[in-house]
Structure 1
Amino acid sequence: MTAGDWRGRSLGERTVGWVDRDVILFALAVGARADQLDLVFEERLRVLPPFALTLAQWAPDQLGAAGAFEVGTTLHGAQRLEVLAPLPTEGELTMAARVGDVWDKGGAAVFEVVVESGYFVATWSLFAPGAGGFGGARGPGRPPAPAVDPEWACDLTVAANAAALYRLLGDRHHIHIDPAAAAAIGQDRPILHGLATLAASTLVVAARTGAHPADLTLLEGRFAGPVIPGETLALRGWTDGGFDVRSQRGPALDAGRALFG
């Protein structure tokens, strides 16, 4: 079975539950302040839409477990989240997952995992080395850099315990906490989850554009490099909702876009 044979395959359904404590933990993990009461206080709570991605994390894991690629070698290349309705502060949700497009990059394949529910549609792009060469379409290339100067620029300091907190939301991969596991992938220290960087960026974009972060309607971005908890990142933003993120080592997230309703 080649990578292309997975296109369109169902990954099943999953029902997950959450409570307000999970919503608050997510907000704190991605940089919400203690004085942002509608993000961290149960009496006024609104759900940050990227929290949905923690509920849907089972789907890309399911594809790996089903044998589509070698678990442990695949990279999270990009993410998209379309918000259909606000999530409640607690409840249960049934989601359906499937494999979308599978692109042939020659030495690798890119699998799209699509998770759908009445509240959101989330799409993971997973870069799987060694799974290409099956004769499929190459798919879209890297988006071009913006042709105009950014409208704004500012810094984002990542909390030193951000990855330790974010792990409690479900993604407990050892590279985010164990120095030995991080060293095995060539990193000096444990790295932050890419989805945490993406979600933290929406707080900055919302503040700079006068929006409320819980009013997010669309989020997407490509992961370009690791982020280390405790470091300061540089963000730039454009009038169309585009943004990118750089660390001292180079690009961390590009082709970002965050739109608010």
Structure 2
Amino acid sequence: MTGRSEPGGAGGRPSTGGRNEWHGKDLGTRTVGYDETQAILYALAVGAAASDLDLVFEERLRVLPTFALTLAQWAPDVLGSAGAFDVRTAVHGTQRLRVLKPLPRSGSVEMTARVAEVWDKGSAAVFDVAVESEYFAATWSLFAPGRGGFGGDRGPSARRRPEAAPSGELTVRTAGNQAALYRLLGDRHHLHIDPEAAKTAGMPRPIMHGLCTLAAATLPIAASLGAHPADLVELEGRFAAPVFPGDALRIETWKDDGPAVLFEAAADDRTVISAARARFA
């Protein structure tokens, strides 16, 4: 998502009483089906190896929990299409996921979505789009320039980088074709494949999907904890800067409560994911 609109609520109109007119909006219910091929393609797109048979072989398949986010991508897209913000300028700020039970190898998922919160950042607004199903609950936080100034709450601050030294460090190299693979799961924004579209958005070349980068980080983190990536039960992270296919990511981790870690990811000298946390069963 990337233009600029007039300040105020949707369409440049401030809402009254500090409550944005989109707050609480029902985005509908949708059932999305998938099969084993899509689940396997997803695992490969976020960095699973051919030797990870329980992620890429249908007879042993465990579906990565973050695959659910591709099934629910329709929800933030519905809000943008409804005119809540300018889809040319809005960006995906943070993502949260809570796993309720494992996804089956194939099947369909019924989801409901709503605008849970609209935070007023002054010159911009942040729309929290909540999606719920029997398998997971997820929230997209979308940063929308020109939609603030309606007198609402600024919302919570992002988690700060821990002051202590990292307890662990991992290196993950993204693949040159990773964005090309990931877009086959549904997010086909031209920014991730077309060099001209990337240049129009101010990028030197196509960039990775933020959700791909976030999910890719969970595989080596799980391995470092002796956990299985399909046992992920909670995940959150803030998208701080773009990642380019082929970038090497340096992931720093800090121990958190139980089988959980706080983490940040950097490419070269730029932090690309911050305020992140992963917990495994």
Q: TM-score range by the shorter chain?
A: over 0.9
* Number of residue pairs the alignment of both structures matches: 261
Question: Aligned letter for 1:36?
Answer: D
- Return 5+ residue gaps in structure 2 as ranges: 1-7, 11-19
Q: What pairs up with 1:12-161 in 2 under 5 angstroms?
A: 12-161=28-177
User: For residue 271 of structure 2, what is the aligned residue in structure 1?
Assistant: 251
- Return 5+ residue gaps in structure 1 as ranges: none
Secondary structure in 2 aligned to 1:50?
helix
Which shows bigger deviation, 145-154 or 89-98?
Answer: 145-154
C-alpha distance in structure 1 between counterparts of 2:238 and 2:99, whole Å: 18
Secondary structure in 2 aligned to 1:204?
helix
Secondary structure in 1 aligned to 2:42?
helix
Deviation for aligned residue 1:154: 1.6
Q: What pairs up with 1:206-225 in 2 under 5 angstroms?
A: 206-225=222-241
C-alpha distance in structure 1 between counterparts of 2:21 and 2:185, whole Å: 32
Is 2:17 the counterpart of 1:2?
Answer: no
Question: Aligned letter for 1:139?
Answer: G
Secondary structure in 2 aligned to 1:5?
coil
C-alpha distance in structure 1 between counterparts of 2:160 and 2:279, whole Å: 19
C-alpha distance in structure 1 between counterparts of 2:109 and 2:248, whole Å: 35
C-alpha distance in structure 1 between counterparts of 2:216 and 2:106, whole Å: 21
C-alpha distance in structure 2 between counterparts of 1:116 and 1:212, whole Å: 24
C-alpha distance in structure 2 between counterparts of 1:257 and 1:186, whole Å: 29
C-alpha distance in structure 1 between counterparts of 2:90 and 2:9, whole Å: 16
User: For residue 233 of structure 1, what is the aligned residue in structure 2?
Assistant: 249
C-alpha distance in structure 2 between counterparts of 1:117 and 1:48, whole Å: 16
Question: Aligned letter for 1:149?
Answer: A
TM-score, structure 2 as length reference: 0.92
C-alpha distance in structure 2 between counterparts of 1:37 and 1:212, whole Å: 12
Is 2:217 the counterpart of 1:201?
Answer: yes
C-alpha distance in structure 2 between counterparts of 1:224 and 1:25, whole Å: 26
Deviation for aligned residue 1:216: 0.2
Question: Aligned letter for 1:39?
Answer: L
Deviation for aligned residue 1:142: 2.7
* Residues 57-109 of structure 1, C-alpha deviations (whole Å, 9 max, x = no match): 00000000111011121100000000000000100111000001100000000
Identity among equivalent pairs (%): 61
Root mean square deviation of aligned Cα: 0.9
Question: Aligned letter for 1:251?
Answer: T
Is 2:193 the counterpart of 1:177?
Answer: yes
Deviation for aligned residue 1:249: 4.1
Secondary structure in 2 aligned to 1:145?
coil
TM-score, structure 1 as length reference: 0.98
